[in-house]
Amino acid sequence: MAYRRTEQVEARLSASRERILGAALRLVAEQGYAACSIAAVARQAGVATGSVYQHFPNKAALVAEVFRTASQREVDAFTRAAELESGVLDKITAAVESFGHRALRAPRMAFALIAEPVDPAVDSERLIFRRAYADVLSVLIADGLATGELPPQEPELTAAALVGALAEVLVGPLAAGSADGRTVAAMLTFTRRALGAAP
């Protein structure tokens, strides 16, 4: 007869995995992916190294999960910010402003998500989440075309270009520790101009 885990065992394993993932997220937020070794995560989580390997076969798998978790939070915040506004330009502005200010509040994490050198597995996750941001913007831009708020353009192309540009604008200031409110203001000005919106 095959062994089947009880609900209690499943709950304990799930809690252990969440504790490990939370520890890894804290390490990345404080020191970046480079500091996120299996041993460091185990220490931070208060578990044995073997416990980390029980949930993640290697560092690449752990870091990829950290990236997915952190990036999904950011995409959700980006989307929520847009949903709180009514006009298309206001929605896009709110999303971009949220993106910028969240990066300022957690600069180490933002740099890790946007540009820190990582394993190929995490790089492929970056592409997936860039696409997620672009998908949000593409729908909003298409709505702006339909309502006449925006001039004719290719929504998907504009959205992809905006996501790339906004991430690139943050890389230097985040790396240098010089990102501030002026950076976000410049991002908003650039966004309006890129969309062809009236000043």
CATH at residue 176:
1.10.357.10
Is there a single domain that holds both residue 41 and residue 134? no
pLDDT one-digit tens code per residue, 58-85: 999 999 999 999 999 999 999 999 999 9
Q: What is the pLDDT of residues 51-64, one digit of tens each?
A: 999 999 999 999 99
Q: Are residues 74 and 153 in the same domain?
A: yes
Q: How many structural domains are present in the chain?
A: 2
Query: Would you give the DSSP letter of residue 6?
Result: -
Q: Are residues 103 and 38 in the same domain?
A: no
Same domain (yes/no): 165, 98: yes
Q: How far is CA 67 from CA 83, 84, 86, 146, in A?
A: 24, 26, 31, 35
- Which residue range(s) make up the domain with 5? 1-56
Q: Mark whether 82 and 165 lie in a shared domain.
A: yes
Instruction: Give yes or no: residues 116 and 175 share one domain.
Output: yes
**Alpha-carbon span 66 to 76, nearest angstrom:** 16
Residue 36 and residue 66 in contact, taking contact as beta carbons nearer than 8 Å: yes
Same domain, 125 and 184: yes
Same domain membership, residue 64 and residue 46: no
87 pLDDT band, cuts 50/70/90, is very high
Q: How far apart are the first and last CA of the chain?
A: 71
pLDDT at site 3: 55
Give residue-wise pLDDT tens across range 114-173. Answer: 999 888 888 888 999 999 999 999 999 999 999 999 999 999 999 999 999 999 999 999
Same domain, 100 and 170: yes
